[in-house]
Amino acid sequence: MTGVHMACDVGSVRIGVARSDPGGVLAFPLDAIAAGPDAIAQLDALITEYEAVGVIIGLPLNMDGTAGTAAQSAQVWAAQVADAVSVPVELLDERLTTVQAQRGLHEAGRTVRSSRAVIDSASAVVLLQSYLDTSRKASSESAE
């Protein structure tokens, strides 16, 4: 669990990116990456820069838990990332992360229009924070 983890919220236009602190306690947004042929190389550069030990990729399942087109695209991208980087890649259910991120930005006084550029990375923060919190809870329960 110790070490920087990264998370990606994969979209068709851009990929939101977040990283954790080395202790695995807090998630922070990074600039989104433009979706496209250079996205994985850019992510790999961030993994190297932050010395990340793992990458979490959001899996946008339907509300009933089934995998639609967006989830299938995320799974394909995750497999490509896993083949290209030297750290473990894990998919994590991201249902409602965008809703939570939009709510947080709205509470901070941001409109939908002013949030477009940061919503993907804000969603990645919600995804990564959920992963960190769950991992920390599981670690403390197994230590008991």
Residue spans of the domains in the chain: they are 4-143
Question: pTM for the full model?
Answer: 0.82
Residue-level pLDDT at 118 = 67
What is the distance between the alpha carbons of residues 33 and 79, in angstroms, rounded to a whole number? 18
What distance lies between CA 142 and its chain's CA centroid?
25
Topology, domain 4-143: Nucleotidyltransferase; domain 5 (3.30.420)
Number of neighbouring beta carbons within 10 Å of residue 73: 16
Residue-level pLDDT at 100 = 58
- Regions of the chain short of the pLDDT cut 70: 1, 95-119, 143-144
What's the longest Cα–Cα distance across the chain? 47
* Residue given tokens 């939101």 in the structure block: 16
* Residue given tokens 């991992």 in the structure block: 135
For 13, residues 6+ apart whose C-beta sits below 8 A from its C-beta are: 34, 35
Residue-level pLDDT at 62 = 81
Q: Based on the number of CB atoms within 10 Å of its own CB, is 3 exposed (0-12), middle (13-18) or buried (19 or more)?
A: middle
21: its two tokens:
């602190």
